[in-house]
Protein backbone atom coordinates (compact mmCIF):
# COMPACT_ATOMS: atom_id res chain seq x y z
CA UNK A 1 0.00 0.00 0.00
CA UNK A 2 2.70 2.49 0.99
CA UNK A 3 5.46 3.21 -1.46
CA UNK A 4 8.88 2.03 -0.29
CA UNK A 5 10.31 5.58 -0.07
CA UNK A 6 7.28 7.22 1.61
CA UNK A 7 7.62 7.94 5.34
CA UNK A 8 5.32 6.22 7.71
CA UNK A 9 2.97 8.06 10.04
CA UNK A 10 5.16 7.24 13.02
CA UNK A 11 8.26 8.66 11.30
CA UNK A 12 6.35 11.87 10.51
CA UNK A 13 5.25 12.17 14.16
CA UNK A 14 8.81 11.73 15.38
CA UNK A 15 10.09 14.33 12.93
CA UNK A 16 7.38 16.84 13.99
CA UNK A 17 8.22 16.26 17.68
CA UNK A 18 11.90 16.97 16.98
CA UNK A 19 11.02 20.13 15.03
CA UNK A 20 8.81 21.42 17.88
CA UNK A 21 11.57 20.77 20.44
CA UNK A 22 14.13 22.56 18.27
CA UNK A 23 11.69 25.41 17.66
CA UNK A 24 11.25 26.02 21.41
CA UNK A 25 15.01 26.13 21.88
CA UNK A 26 15.40 28.50 18.92
CA UNK A 27 12.71 30.86 20.26
CA UNK A 28 14.38 30.97 23.68
CA UNK A 29 17.69 31.77 22.01
CA UNK A 30 16.13 34.56 19.91
CA UNK A 31 14.51 36.10 23.01
CA UNK A 32 17.81 36.00 24.91
CA UNK A 33 19.66 37.61 21.99
CA UNK A 34 16.98 40.30 21.60
CA UNK A 35 17.10 41.22 25.27
CA UNK A 36 20.91 41.43 25.09
CA UNK A 37 20.61 43.58 21.96
CA UNK A 38 18.62 46.25 23.84
CA UNK A 39 20.65 46.08 27.07
CA UNK A 40 22.97 49.11 27.12
CA UNK A 41 25.06 47.57 29.90
CA UNK A 42 26.22 44.76 27.63
CA UNK A 43 27.51 47.36 25.13
CA UNK A 44 29.41 49.17 27.90
CA UNK A 45 30.97 45.88 29.02
CA UNK A 46 31.87 44.89 25.45
CA UNK A 47 33.04 48.30 24.19
CA UNK A 48 34.08 50.46 27.18
CA UNK A 49 36.22 52.98 25.27
CA UNK A 50 33.62 53.50 22.55
CA UNK A 51 30.94 53.96 25.21
CA UNK A 52 33.11 56.52 26.99
CA UNK A 53 33.68 58.43 23.73
CA UNK A 54 29.95 58.45 22.93
CA UNK A 55 29.07 59.64 26.46
CA UNK A 56 31.66 62.43 26.16
CA UNK A 57 30.28 63.51 22.77
CA UNK A 58 26.70 63.56 24.07
CA UNK A 59 27.79 65.57 27.11
CA UNK A 60 29.65 68.04 24.90
CA UNK A 61 26.59 68.51 22.69
CA UNK A 62 24.18 68.94 25.62
CA UNK A 63 26.15 71.51 27.62
CA UNK A 64 25.47 75.04 26.35
CA UNK A 65 28.33 77.23 25.23
CA UNK A 66 29.58 80.05 27.35
CA UNK A 67 28.22 83.43 26.41
CA UNK A 68 30.80 85.80 25.11
CA UNK A 69 30.81 89.16 26.84
CA UNK A 70 31.99 91.79 24.45
CA UNK A 71 32.76 95.23 25.78
CA UNK A 72 31.83 97.98 23.34
CA UNK A 73 32.91 101.53 23.64
CA UNK A 74 30.26 104.20 23.80
CA UNK A 75 31.23 105.85 20.51
CA UNK A 76 30.95 102.57 18.54
CA UNK A 77 27.45 101.96 19.90
CA UNK A 78 26.34 105.51 19.13
CA UNK A 79 27.69 105.24 15.57
CA UNK A 80 25.93 101.90 15.10
CA UNK A 81 22.60 103.34 16.26
CA UNK A 82 23.03 106.51 14.20
CA UNK A 83 23.78 104.51 11.01
CA UNK A 84 20.53 102.57 11.39
CA UNK A 85 18.38 105.47 12.60
CA UNK A 86 17.76 103.87 15.99
CA UNK A 87 17.35 105.54 19.37
CA UNK A 88 18.63 104.05 22.60
CA UNK A 89 16.13 104.57 25.41
CA UNK A 90 16.75 103.83 29.05
CA UNK A 91 14.78 100.91 30.49
CA UNK A 92 11.48 101.78 32.15
CA UNK A 93 11.65 102.25 35.91
CA UNK A 94 10.41 99.35 38.02
CA UNK A 95 6.89 99.74 39.41
CA UNK A 96 6.60 101.15 42.90
CA UNK A 97 5.91 98.89 45.85
CA UNK A 98 2.45 100.40 46.38
CA UNK A 99 1.44 99.77 42.77
CA UNK A 100 2.63 96.18 42.96
CA UNK A 101 0.72 95.48 46.18
CA UNK A 102 -2.41 97.17 44.81
CA UNK A 103 -2.22 95.13 41.60
CA UNK A 104 -1.82 91.91 43.61
CA UNK A 105 -4.80 92.71 45.83
CA UNK A 106 -6.98 93.55 42.82
CA UNK A 107 -6.00 90.31 41.12
CA UNK A 108 -6.80 88.34 44.27
CA UNK A 109 -10.21 90.04 44.60
CA UNK A 110 -11.02 89.44 40.94
CA UNK A 111 -10.05 85.77 41.21
CA UNK A 112 -12.18 85.32 44.32
CA UNK A 113 -15.16 87.04 42.69
CA UNK A 114 -14.77 84.90 39.59
CA UNK A 115 -14.68 81.69 41.64
CA UNK A 116 -17.69 82.77 43.72
CA UNK A 117 -19.64 83.67 40.57
CA UNK A 118 -18.77 80.37 38.90
CA UNK A 119 -19.87 78.41 41.98
CA UNK A 120 -23.10 80.40 42.18
CA UNK A 121 -23.92 79.84 38.49
CA UNK A 122 -23.11 76.14 38.86
CA UNK A 123 -25.50 75.90 41.81
CA UNK A 124 -28.25 77.74 39.91
CA UNK A 125 -27.88 75.55 36.84
CA UNK A 126 -27.89 72.33 38.89
CA UNK A 127 -31.04 73.50 40.72
CA UNK A 128 -32.66 74.33 37.40
CA UNK A 129 -31.76 70.96 35.92
CA UNK A 130 -32.91 69.14 39.07
CA UNK A 131 -36.35 70.70 38.90
CA UNK A 132 -36.00 73.94 40.79
CA UNK A 133 -37.68 73.74 44.21
CA UNK A 134 -37.27 69.94 44.45
CA UNK A 135 -33.84 70.33 45.99
CA UNK A 136 -33.86 71.31 49.67
CA UNK A 137 -31.18 73.76 50.81
CA UNK A 138 -28.74 72.45 53.37
CA UNK A 139 -27.53 74.31 56.45
CA UNK A 140 -23.95 74.28 55.13
CA UNK A 141 -24.83 75.62 51.69
CA UNK A 142 -23.66 79.24 51.31
CA UNK A 143 -25.80 79.63 48.18
CA UNK A 144 -29.05 78.42 49.73
CA UNK A 145 -31.93 80.74 48.99
CA UNK A 146 -34.27 81.67 51.80
CA UNK A 147 -37.76 80.48 50.87
CA UNK A 148 -40.87 81.32 52.87
CA UNK A 149 -42.67 78.33 54.39
CA UNK A 150 -45.53 76.89 52.37
CA UNK A 151 -48.26 77.97 54.87
CA UNK A 152 -47.34 81.54 55.74
CA UNK A 153 -49.22 84.74 56.45
CA UNK A 154 -52.45 85.33 54.54
CA UNK A 155 -53.05 81.75 53.49
CA UNK A 156 -53.67 80.66 57.10
CA UNK A 157 -57.05 79.04 57.55
CA UNK A 158 -57.88 78.93 53.85
CA UNK A 159 -58.52 75.45 52.56
Chain segment 3-22, per-residue pLDDT in tens: 556 678 888 888 898 888 88
The count of structural domains within the chain is 2
pLDDT at 57: 93
Whether residue 15 is contained in a domain is answered as: yes
Give a yes or no: residue 51 inside a domain: yes
- Do 77 and 88 touch, CB atoms closer than 8 A? yes
Which pLDDT belongs to residue 33?
81
Tell me what the pLDDT averaged over the chain comes to.
Answer: 80
Q: Which of 149, 141, 148 is nearest to 124 (CA)?
A: 141
Integer Cα distance of 46 and 35 in angstroms: 15
Residue range 83-132, pLDDT digits in tens? 988 887 888 888 788 888 999 999 999 999 999 999 999 998 888 888 75
Cα(111)–Cα(115) distance, integer angstroms: 6
pLDDT band at residue 82, thresholds of 50, 70 and 90? confident
Which domain range does residue 107 map to? 100-130
Amino acid sequence: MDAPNSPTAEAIRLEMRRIRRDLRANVKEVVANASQLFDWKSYVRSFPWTSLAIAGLVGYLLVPRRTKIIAYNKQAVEDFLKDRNLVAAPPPPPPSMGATITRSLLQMAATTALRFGTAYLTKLSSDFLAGGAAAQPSAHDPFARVRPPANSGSNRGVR
